[in-house]
C-alpha cells in the first residue's frame, strides 16, 4: 500500500511530457508553447535588453534539441526572434492559433509515416520537432530529425503579411498557397531526407536530385499531387527548363534553381526541385519493380559523382549523355583572357605596380570575388588593398602593394562565376618583381 501511495505521489510531483509516437518516431511540440510564453512576456515591454532575456530564458534555453538544431541550420539567435516579434506584431497574432494546432495533427503525420513505410519497409525512425523560427525555412533536417519552422509551415492565406518588407515577398507568396493544409506532405518530404545517405549533393545536378526525389516519394506514398508550384509549372514547360538546366547543371552553386527567387526566364522558383522530381518520376515509371525503385531513389549517395552520373544516364532524361553535357559545360566556363599589367610568369614586374587587372572571357557576377594562396603559401601572396569590377563587368582590378625583388604567387579561384553561376576556370598567377 505504501508503494502505491509513493508512486501516486511521484505521478503528481513530476510533469509528464507526452509525445505522439509511431514505434520510435516522436512528434514533439513543446517549443511552440515555450515560444508563446516568451512572446507574451516580450510584448509587455519595449526594453530590448529585457526582451532578449525573455527569449533566451523562456524559449532558447528551454528549447528541444530540434530548436537548437534549426537555430544552427538557419543561423537564428535571440536578436533574430526579438526583431521578428517587434517588427511584425500583426503577423504573430494571426499565426498563433495555427501553430498551436501542431499538437492535434500527430495522427495525420503518423498515418503519413506509415504509408511511407509501406513503400519503403526499411524506413528508419526519426523525430519530428515543431519549432518556431524567423522566416528562413518551413522545414529542414539535421542529425536525422525533421525540423519544422511552424511560423511558415502552419501559415495560410489568412495569415497577415502586409507588414513584411520586399525581401520577404517569397514568404507572403508562400502563405497564399495555404501551406498548413500540406503539412503532412512537407513532413514526409523532410522525413525522406532523414533516410538519404547524405544531407545534400556536390553540385546543382546532384542537389536537384536530392530535393526532387524527396518531393517525388511523398507523391507515391500519399497518392497526392505535389503542392510545390515548381512541379506543375515544370510539367508544362519541361523542354524549356531542361534546355537551360543542361547548360548550368554542373555549377557548384544552386541559387538560380533551388532555394531561390524567380529565375529570370521562368515564372516560378525552385525549379531544381522539378528537374530532380522529373528524373525520379521517369526512373520510377520505367521500373518494373516499384518497391526496388523507391529503395534505389532513397539510397542513392548524392555525394558520389560516379554513382549519380551513372544513374542519370540510366534514366535517359537529358538530351545527351552526362559526358557530352559535361564537355559542353567545361567549354562554357568563363576564364581569364589576360592580365593587363604583365604576363603570367614574368620575372621583371615593376615593384611600383599598384594595380593588377584580370580580364575575363565573359561578364561576371560582380557580387563575388575570390583570391587564395598558391602552393608556396601566404608569404608569397601580395598585399591586397582593394578590388573593383569594371563597368562592363568583364574585368576586375586589385589594388596591391608590392615589394622589390620578391616572388609572388596567388590563385584566382573558381568562386568567381558568371551571371548564370557557372564557375570560373581557376588560374594560378606567378610573377617576380625586379629590383
Q: Sign (positive/negative) of CA torsion 280, 145, 268, 108?
A: positive
Cell matching residue 239: 523542354
pLDDT reported for residue 11: 30
Domain that residue 235 falls in: 196-332
What span, in angstroms and rounded, lies between the C-alpha atoms of 344 and 50?
59
Q: Which of 332, 350, 380 is the last residue in one of the domains?
A: 332
- Identify whether residues 28 and 155 lie together within a single domain: yes
pLDDT reported for residue 142: 94
- Identify whether residues 94 and 222 lie together within a single domain: no
State the helix-helix crossing angle for 271-285 and 229-236, rounded to 10 degrees.
Answer: 70
Q: Which of 277, 297, 332 is the last residue in one of the domains?
A: 332
For residue 15, tell me if it sits in a domain. Answer: no
For residue 186, tell me if it sits in a domain. Answer: no
- Identify whether residues 154 and 105 lie together within a single domain: yes
pLDDT reported for residue 14: 31
- Identify whether residues 154 and 223 lie together within a single domain: no
Which pTM does this prediction carry?
0.86
- Identify whether residues 387 and 354 lie together within a single domain: yes
Residue 202 · residue 303 · CB < 8 Å: yes
pLDDT reported for residue 25: 58
What span, in angstroms and rounded, lies between the C-alpha atoms of 379 and 345?
18
pLDDT reported for residue 2: 38
- Identify whether residues 27 and 161 lie together within a single domain: yes
Q: Which of 332, 353, 387 is the last residue in one of the domains?
A: 332
Distance of CA 385 to the CA centre of its chain: 33
What span, in angstroms and rounded, lies between the C-alpha atoms of 191 and 188?
5
- Identify whether residues 30 and 158 lie together within a single domain: yes
The CA distances from residue 398 to 355, 361, 418, in Å, are 6, 18, 18
pLDDT reported for residue 267: 79
For residue 119, tell me if it sits in a domain. Answer: yes
For residue 172, tell me if it sits in a domain. Answer: no
Q: Which residues contact 77 (CB under 8 A, 6 or more apart)?
A: 71
For residue 203, tell me if it sits in a domain. Answer: yes
- Identify whether residues 72 and 205 lie together within a single domain: no
- Identify whether residues 378 and 318 lie together within a single domain: no
Cell matching residue 102: 501542431
What span, in angstroms and rounded, lies between the C-alpha atoms of 332 and 348?
34
What CATH number should be reported for the domain holding residue 391? Answer: 2.60.40.1220
Q: List the beta strands (DSSP E) in 86-191.
A: 128-131, 139-142, 145-149
Cβ atoms < 10 Å from Cβ of 271: 27
- Identify whether residues 227 and 138 lie together within a single domain: no
What span, in angstroms and rounded, lies between the C-alpha atoms of 90 and 155?
13
Q: Sign (positive/negative) of CA torsion 250, 255, 258, 261?
A: negative
pLDDT of the chain, 435 residues: tens digit per residue: 334 333 333 333 333 333 443 334 589 999 999 999 999 999 999 999 999 999 999 999 999 999 999 999 999 999 999 999 999 999 999 999 999 999 898 889 999 999 999 999 999 999 999 999 999 999 999 999 999 999 999 999 999 999 999 989 889 989 999 999 999 999 999 999 999 999 899 999 999 999 999 999 999 999 999 999 999 999 999 999 999 999 999 999 988 999 876 656 787 889 999 999 999 999 999 999 999 999 999 999 999 999 999 999 999 999 999 999 999 999 999 999 999 999 999 999 999 999 999 999 999 999 999 999 999 999 999 999 999 999 999 999 999 999 999 999 999 999 999 999 999 999 999 999 998
For the chain, how many structural domains are there in total?
A: 3
Q: In what order do the strands lie in the sheet with 407-412?
A: 371-373, 407-412, 427-432
- Identify whether residues 289 and 388 lie together within a single domain: no
- Identify whether residues 28 and 142 lie together within a single domain: yes
Cell matching residue 393: 563587368
For residue 6, tell me if it sits in a domain. Answer: no
For residue 270, tell me if it sits in a domain. Answer: yes
For residue 179, tell me if it sits in a domain. Answer: no
Amino acid at each position: 500500500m505504501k508503494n502505491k501511495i509513493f508512486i501516486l505521489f511521484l505521478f503528481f510531483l513530476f510533469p509528464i511530457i507526452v509525445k505522439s509516437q509511431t514505434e520510435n518516431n516522436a512528434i514533439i511540440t513543446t517549443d511552440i508553447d515555450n515560444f508563446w510564453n516568451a512572446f507574451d512576456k516580450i510584448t509587455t515591454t519595449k526594453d530590448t535588453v529585457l526582451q532578449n532575456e525573455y527569449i533566451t530564458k523562456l524559449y532558447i534555453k528551454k528549447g528541444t534539441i530540434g530548436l537548437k538544431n534549426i537555430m544552427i541550420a538557419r543561423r537564428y539567435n535571440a536578436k533574430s526572434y526579438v526583431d521578428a516579434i517587434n517588427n511584425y506584431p500583426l503577423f504573430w497574432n494571426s499565426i498563433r492559433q495555427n501553430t498551436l494546432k501542431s499538437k492535434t495533427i500527430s495522427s495525420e503525420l503518423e498515418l503519413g509515416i506509415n504509408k511511407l513505410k509501406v513503400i519503403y519497409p526499411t524506413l528508419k525512425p526519426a523525430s519530428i520537432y515543431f519549432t518556431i523560427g524567423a522566416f528562413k525555412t518551413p522545414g529542414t533536417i539535421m542529425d536525422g530529425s525533421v525540423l519544422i519552422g511552424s511560423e511558415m509551415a502552419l501559415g495560410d492565406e489568412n495569415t497577415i503579411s502586409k507588414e513584411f518588407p520586399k525581401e520577404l515577398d517569397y514568404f507572403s507568396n508562400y502563405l497564399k498557397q495555404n501551406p498548413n493544409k500540406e503539412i503532412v506532405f512537407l513532413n514526409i518530404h523532410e522525413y525522406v531526407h532523414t533516410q538519404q545517405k547524405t544531407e545534400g549533393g556536390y553540385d546543382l545536378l546532384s542537389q536537384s536530385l536530392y530535393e526532387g526525389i524527396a518531393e517525388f516519394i511523398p507523391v507515391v506514398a500519399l497518392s497526392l499531387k505535389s503542392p510545390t508550384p515548381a512541379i506543375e509549372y515544370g510539367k508544362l514547360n519541361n523542354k524549356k527548363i531542361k534546355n537551360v538546366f543542361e547548360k548550368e547543371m554542373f555549377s557548384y552553386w544552386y541559387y538560380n534553381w533551388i532555394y531561390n527567387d524567380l529565375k529570370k526566364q521562368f515564372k516560378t522558383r525552385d525549379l531544381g526541385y522539378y528537374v530532380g522530381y522529373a528524373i525520379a518520376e521517369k526512373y520510377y515509371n520505367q521500373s518494373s519493380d516499384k518497391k526496388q525503385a523507391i529503395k534505389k531513389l532513397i539510397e542513392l549517395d548524392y555525394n558520389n559523382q560516379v554513382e549519380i552520373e551513372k544513374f542519370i544516364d540510366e534514366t535517359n532524361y537529358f538530351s545527351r549523355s552526362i559526358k557530352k553535357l559535361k564537355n559542353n559545360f567545361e567549354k562554357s566556363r568563363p576564364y581569364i583572357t589576360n592580365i593587363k599589367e604583365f604576363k603570367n610568369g614574368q620575372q621583371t614586374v615593376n615593384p611600383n605596380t599598384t594595380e593588377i587587372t584580370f580580364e575575363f572571357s565573359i561578364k561576371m557576377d560582380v557580387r563575388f570575388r575570390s583570391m587564395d594562396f598558391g602552393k608556396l603559401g601566404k608569404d608569397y601572396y601580395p598585399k591586397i588593398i582593394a578590388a573593383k569590377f569594371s563597368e562592363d563587368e568583364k574585368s576586375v582590378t586589385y589594388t596591391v602593394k608590392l615589394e622589390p625583388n620578391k616572388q609572388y604567387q596567388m590563385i584566382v579561384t573558381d568562386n568567381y562565376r558568371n551571371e548564370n553561376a557557372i564557375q570560373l576556370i581557376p588560374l594560378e598567377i606567378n610573377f617576380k618583381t625586379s629590383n
